[in-house]
Amino acid sequence: MATIPTLSSKERLILELLVQRHELYGLQLVDASRRRLKRGTVYVTLGRMEDKGYVTSRAEDPPPDAGGLPRRLYRATPLGRRVLQAWTHLVRHLTPEPAR
Amino acid sequence: MNAGDRLRALARRFCTCDTMDRVVDPLIADMRFEYNESQRAGRPWQARRRRAAGYLAFWRTIGFCAARAALGSTRRWANAEGHVMGRTLGYAAGIIAALVFCLALLPFYAVTSANRVAPHELGKLFLYVVPQAIPIAIAFGLPLGILVGLRGRSTDSRIRWSVVAVCIVSTLVAFGICGWVLPETNQAFRETVVRSRRPLARGANELTFPELNAQLEALQRVGRTDAARPLVYSYHARLAASAAPFIWGLFALALASVTRRTFLSAAIFVVAGITYIACAVAIINGGVETFRGLPIAYTIWLPNVCFALMTIALRVGASKSA
């Protein structure tokens, strides 16, 4: 039986930011999340999302002053976009409307 | 040297290439970028602050990776060979939990029915008697868990060593509880029941191992062997109870390898265990200095010695029949 893709709140936030801004570094994701993402966990979460196929990454050309270590840029995959869309749709339909 | 070079070299020793490539390197690259940016802008303090934040993030990330790796390897270990280890640990934990509850309930019920205890103190009192029950529950529960978990199947050396490792860890836990936790909870239990305003004098079972050692040495120096006897009982009884999970666990492992009948082997173990504990309790409560010519300290160790001898006999018998 095929497994249903799941999305944690942090993964959802990352996907939302990546869909809005196309391509971001890990640190830019932390800054853009207004402290909802932490530097100590964002790279682990991004690694897990790569395993799930929600995001893809590419290494930038190494800058001369960074000791030959390339920075990594992340972007949402079509699967990640579809999962986010489905999740947002689901949440919108399942959230009870406020009483009038 | 660039910022984070040492951390990267350290991480390279423990992390896989995949973790380095996808987690550690991007983190350090981003930290270097931030640090160099602040340096170029002539803000050394901001650069230092950013580097410190990067180092902190590095350690948090390594912590997460280590926890994930440990969880994964534990799951693989528990699921190996048709979930043998997972099943063994599960049964052992279940039996130990049930035994702890039953064994703690007996003294708790006896004390609360004989003394007037405030209702709000009942929960606290029950917690205080739990450490008394844990060493005995481990000594019985772990071997039973091994017998039921292995179900007489022929196990490879990896499973056998894993069981031995679990026995060692259980013995260390029992040692810690008998030596340090039990005296404190015993004393707290007594003070709660008696409700004395002054602190109660500690008996032999309310002294930690180092305190027992010190008192024994002091009494032996002045030649008061009679006064030292309860301390000797307590010391050896607690040490023997700590060693029991290891020795009895090995016995169960040997028993499981010679018989495929789980019920029979579990019954043999329970009968042997109860008989020896009953003998040990009878000897200790007899308050005698020697038992059939043996000093009481050695007599307390008899159950463990018998189990060790039976283990050796089972191993020798199994190797001969093989």
- Residue B23 is nearest to which of A38, A44, A71, comparing CB atoms? A44
- For residue B73, the model assigns a pLDDT of 78
Residue B284: count of CB within 10 angstroms of its CB: 18
Round to whole Å and give the CA distance between B299 and B285: 12
- For residue B284, the model assigns a pLDDT of 56
Question: Do residues B58 and B27 make contact, with C-beta atoms less than 8 angstroms apart?
Answer: yes
pLDDT of B11-44, one tens digit each?
888 788 888 888 888 999 989 888 888 988 888 8
- Give the start-to-end residue ranges of the domains of chain B: 102-321
- For residue B184, the model assigns a pLDDT of 92
Confidence of residue B171 (pLDDT cuts 50, 70, 90): very high
pLDDT of B216-274, one tens digit each?
888 888 888 777 878 888 888 889 889 999 999 998 888 887 777 767 777 777 877 77
Round to whole Å and give the CA distance between A80 and A15: 7
In this prediction the ipTM stands at 0.85
pLDDT of B133-170, one tens digit each?
999 899 889 988 888 888 766 667 888 888 899 999 99
pLDDT of B292-302, one tens digit each?
566 777 777 88
Give mean pLDDT, residues B46-71.
88
| CA nearest to A62 within chain B | B29
pLDDT of B183-213, one tens digit each?
999 999 888 888 777 778 888 888 999 998 9
Q: How far is CA A91 from the centre of its chain?
A: 18
How many A×B Cβ pairs under 8 Å? 74
- For residue B288, the model assigns a pLDDT of 53
- For residue B233, the model assigns a pLDDT of 81
- For residue A30, the model assigns a pLDDT of 92
Residue B63: count of CB within 10 angstroms of its CB: 13
DSSP code at position B180: I
Instruction: Determine, for residues B26 and A72 on separate chains, whether the beta-carbon distance falls below 8 Å.
Output: yes
Q: What tokens does B138 get?
A: 């481990």
Round to whole Å and give the CA distance between B132 and B188: 13
Q: Give the distance from residue A99's alpha carbon to the nearest chain B alpha carbon, in angstroms.
A: 42
- For residue B65, the model assigns a pLDDT of 84
| CA nearest to B60 within chain A | A40
Instruction: Determine, for residues B33 and A27 on separate chains, whether the beta-carbon distance falls below 8 Å.
Output: yes
- For residue B169, the model assigns a pLDDT of 94
Secondary structure tally for chain A: helices H, strands E: 4, 3
Instruction: Determine, for residues A71 and B26 on separate chains, whether the beta-carbon distance falls below 8 Å.
Output: yes
Confidence of residue B291 (pLDDT cuts 50, 70, 90): low
Tell whether B22 is within 8 A of chain A (Cβ).
yes
DSSP code at position A73: E
| CA nearest to B53 within chain A | A39
Dihedral angle, C-alpha B57, B59, B61, B63, nearest 10 °? -150
Instruction: Give contacts of B 49-78 with A, CB under 8 A.
Output: 53-54, 56-61, 63-65, 68
Instruction: Determine, for residues B33 and A66 on separate chains, whether the beta-carbon distance falls below 8 Å.
Output: yes
Least confident among B124-128, B197-201, B234-238, B280-284? B280-284
Tell whether B37 is within 8 A of chain A (Cβ).
no
- For residue B294, the model assigns a pLDDT of 65
Alpha-carbon torsion (B250, B255, B258, B260), positive or negative = negative
pLDDT by position in tens, chain A (length 100): 567 777 888 999 999 999 998 889 999 999 998 888 888 889 999 998 998 999 999 988 776 665 678 889 999 999 999 999 998 888 888 877 766 5
Instruction: Determine, for residues A71 and B33 on separate chains, whether the beta-carbon distance falls below 8 Å.
Output: yes
Confidence of residue B290 (pLDDT cuts 50, 70, 90): low
DSSP string for residues in B75-102: HHHHHHHHHHHHHHHHHHHHHHHHHHHH
Task: Show residues of chain B in contact with A41, CB under 8 Å.
Answer: 60-61, 64
Q: Which residue has the higher pLDDT, B7 or B268?
A: B7
Task: Show residues of chain A in contact with B24, CB under 8 Å.
Answer: 43
Q: Which residue has the higher pLDDT, B302 or B49?
A: B49
Task: Show residues of chain B in contact with A69, CB under 8 Å.
Answer: 2, 8, 25, 28-29, 32
Pick from A80, A30, A21, A7: nearest CA to A50: A80
Round to whole Å and give the CA distance between B150 and B256: 7
CA dist list (Å): A80 to A31, A51, A56: 21, 11, 9
Tell whether A69 is within 8 A of chain B (Cβ).
yes
| CA nearest to A56 within chain B | B22
